[in-house]
Amino acid sequence: MFDLDLQQGRAELLPGTTTETWGINGPHLGPTLRAERGDEVTVNVDNALPQATTIHWHGMHLPADADGGPHQMIEPGDSWSPSWTIDQPAASLWYHPQGETADHLYRGLAGMFLLDAQEASALPLPSEYGVDDIPLIIQDERFDDDGRLDFSQSMISTIGRLGDEILVNGTYDPYVEVADRLVRLRLLNASTARIYDIGFADGREFDLIGTDGGLLEAAERTSRVQLSVGERAEIVVELEAGEQAVLRSFEPDLGTNAFEGRFAGAEDSFDLLALRAADELGDSPDLPATLVAKEGPQESEASWLRRFELGNRDINGVQMDMARIDEVVGVGATEVWEGRTPPARRTTSTSTTCASGSSTTPESRPRPISPGSRTPSTCPPGRWCASRSPSRTTPTRQSRTCSTATSSSTRTAG
């Protein structure tokens, strides 16, 4: 059983000043929840905020009445206690608000929800939480001259509010000291609009071992991974004794023209985190040649094909309306969903996947931060500090997804 208290507070997001924030079991962000496949989970959510909100378990396979969608708001002073059984592969998930999603997330309502499973736990992967297995919640924020969160938004931006300062796990310009040759980073884009193209400043390669749905069948060697809002990726990087490796977000390819891209973050680059390796590193097992077997339905089992035309602010020509239901999927149904973006914006390419589903500031002295406490037991906090300010350069694809519904679900366009 997990207890989550949604609350107001103040946090030192920029060195030397505190900011009004929202958080979960604390002033900003929330604890890392962890459960194993087969566990019966109950989460008691108490809303002590001045506004109605709710908590959605992003990436979780669960009944519709436990999902925490925008139709399941928790009024100020009220509580909500959803329950479900964990029945999906090991994965890095997260939880966040719904309703006034962007504003509430921007204030600090977010946390990670890690799922374990027997097959994945048996693999020789870095797995000591906060030591060689580190969650990274990446957010961009904007502050006014008094250090308060700035909620203004450019009228020219087509994607939403973009910040000019980066926080990782709620900390400005962090570094982490590591003592092992291989380090696993669980990356989460918890920004409200920004897309990150993540790699290392020296161009080194790393192994991508997991994405939104969990671990891959085998590690993929690469030097970049692009994350849109809400996306996750698990990577393993090799370090040498005494070196510093800087995790960076490079200028992302957004598939837009130069004018649109400028106001959508296409020209922005940020340093995210410095990994400081000890003078002597503990040896780590080499990554296995294979990871986990692929789970999920086969496209040949699909009984229905749904097509979705994705516009800037609409799906199939209509915008979101909370009072309208556009698609209904029956429990147990296996379907192919095909999405297409306007061909003028991107060169069309097709991929098919199948997966189970349901539904500038002064320099500061080093200060400790935590990757998040594990609930219900306490996770090691890791060895975190913050120092320099982050560097910046400047302030039609078609896909098909085959999925099996595990709960009754509804979808609204938008």
DSSP readout, 66-134?
GS--TTS-B-TT-EE--EEE--S-SEEEEEEEESSHHHHHHHT--EEEEEE-HHHHTS-----BTTTEE
CA-CA distance, 118 to 91, in Å (whole number)?
Answer: 12
pLDDT recorded at residue 341: 83
Determine whether domain 2-118 maps to CATH 2.60.40.420.
Answer: yes
Q: What is the pLDDT of residue 141?
A: 95
Q: Which two tokens stand for residue 146?
A: 């008094």
Average pLDDT value over all residues in the chain: 84
Region 34-44 average pLDDT: 97
Closest CA to 154 of 196, 193, 195: 193
Cis peptide before 124 (omega within 30 of 0): no
pLDDT per residue as tens digits for the range 56-88: 999 999 999 999 999 899 999 999 999 999 999
In this model, does residue 387 exceed pLDDT 50?
no
pLDDT of residue 149: 93
> What is the share, in percent, of the chain residues with pLDDT greater than 90?
68
Check pLDDT > 90 for residue 170.
yes
Using the predicted structure, report yes or no on whether residue 115 has a pLDDT greater than 50: yes
Both structure tokens of 394 = 């400047």
Q: How confident is the model at residue 354 (pLDDT cuts 50, 70, 90)?
A: very low
Are the C-beta atoms of residues 68 and 82 closer than 8 Å to each other?
yes
Give the pairing type, strands 2-14 and 40-47: parallel
Residue 409 contacts residue 359 (beta carbons within 8 Å): yes
Identify the band that residue 160 occupies on the pLDDT scale cut at 50, 70 and 90: confident
pLDDT at 319: 93
Candidates 338, 257, 335; CA nearest to 301 is 335
Average pLDDT estimate for 207-223: 97
Delimiting residues of CATH 2.60.40.420 domain(s) in the chain: 2-118, 133-290+363-386
Using alpha carbons, select from 376, 269, 372, 334 the residue that is nearest to residue 30: 372
Question: What pLDDT, in 10s, does the model give residues 80-99?
Answer: 999 999 999 999 999 999 99
pLDDT score at 275: 98
Q: What pLDDT digit, counting tens, does each position of 239-253 carry?
A: 999 999 999 999 998
In angstroms, the CA 409 to CA 332 distance is 11
- Tell me what pLDDT residue 344 has: 52
> Helix (H, G, I), strand (E, B), or coil: what is residue 56?
strand
Q: What is the CATH number of domain 133-290+363-386?
A: 2.60.40.420
The string of DSSP letters for 171-189 reads EESEEEEEEESEEEEEEEE
Phi and psi, residue 254, nearest 5°: -95, -5
Whether the pLDDT of residue 6 is over 60: the answer is yes
**Res 343: pLDDT:** 67
pLDDT, position 264? 80
Model confidence pLDDT, tens digit, residues 283-321: 999 999 999 998 888 888 898 999 999 987 899 999 989
Residue 59 one-letter amino acid: G
- How does residue 400 score in pLDDT terms, banded at 50, 70 and 90? very low
Residue 318 in tokens: 């209509």
Distance set, CA 108 to CA 26, 167, 231, 350 (Å): 10, 11, 17, 36
> Which 8-state DSSP code applies to residue 346?
S
* Local confidence band at 330 (pLDDT 50, 70, 90 cut-offs): confident
Residue 375 has pLDDT above 80, yes or no: no
Q: Which of 138-147, 167-176, 257-266 has the lowest mean pLDDT?
A: 257-266
Least confident of 23-27, 106-110, 314-318, 401-405: 401-405
User: Does the structure show a pLDDT above 70 at 169?
Assistant: yes
pLDDT of residue 260: 78
Asked if pLDDT for residue 390 goes beyond 90, the answer is no
CA angle 197, 190, 389 (to 5 degrees): 65
